[in-house]
Structure 1
Amino acid sequence: MEGSEDNKKGKGGRPPKAVKRNQLMAIKCTLFERRAIEAKAGSVGLTVSEYLREMGLTGKIDRRNRALPKEVLGFTATLNHLAANLNQLAKKRNQGDELSPLERAELKVQSGHVKELAIEIKSYLL
């Protein structure tokens, strides 16, 4: 069983959440009620689950706890993707391996994506 500790050391990915939401609740409602709940959840920028959970626990929605705009989430997702790709290339290079022509081309493309993303972020903020 000593080998299991070694497996955990190199494991990557998202860390587990401290509190895992694994319980499912179902409600019955009419189509009209469903559409109304979905519309209210959308108007405050929450999913239906988040909206119902917040309403059930606190009885109100704090509009200050809204999710980030979709554009910002898109920028974050793109940056995470680019960072992962660049990290893989850097790891290979730091291990002493030479980059193949395909990897060099990918690095050039990724560099272009970073520049485009920087322009998009600047235009979004202005």
Structure 2
Amino acid sequence: MEQQRNSIKNKGGRPKKEVKRDQLVGVKFTLYERRIIESKAKNVNLTVSEYLREIALKAKINYKNKVLSKEILSFTGQLNHLAANLNQIAKKRNSNDELNPVERAELKVCTQRIKDLAVEIKSCMS
């Protein structure tokens, strides 16, 4: 009888939660940002965790998906290629090697192509 009473008896302690929040996400703030967040959470009577969770899950952020045109992507690729070539030339010059005639011609071509790209980019942006 005593044993039966003990098994029915509540063992005490905090009741189990239906959904256990056991995942931690670390976020770094400046001291100023932290104080602002703490203040806002206090104003709405929430803990910082509850406040950030509410904001993250329910807030809507309006953003426009900015799609770059094919021309801009092409310009970017060309500029990256030219930058690599110019970097190789600069590395050679910085090691006190003289440019041979072929490298000088390549440098002139790169320089002209960069000027042409700059004009094309300006015309696309206008």
TM-score by length of 2: 0.48
- Relative contact order, CA 8 A, sep 6+: which one is greater? 2
Kindly name which structure, 1 or 2, has the bigger radius of gyration based on alpha carbons: 2
TM-score by length of 1: 0.48
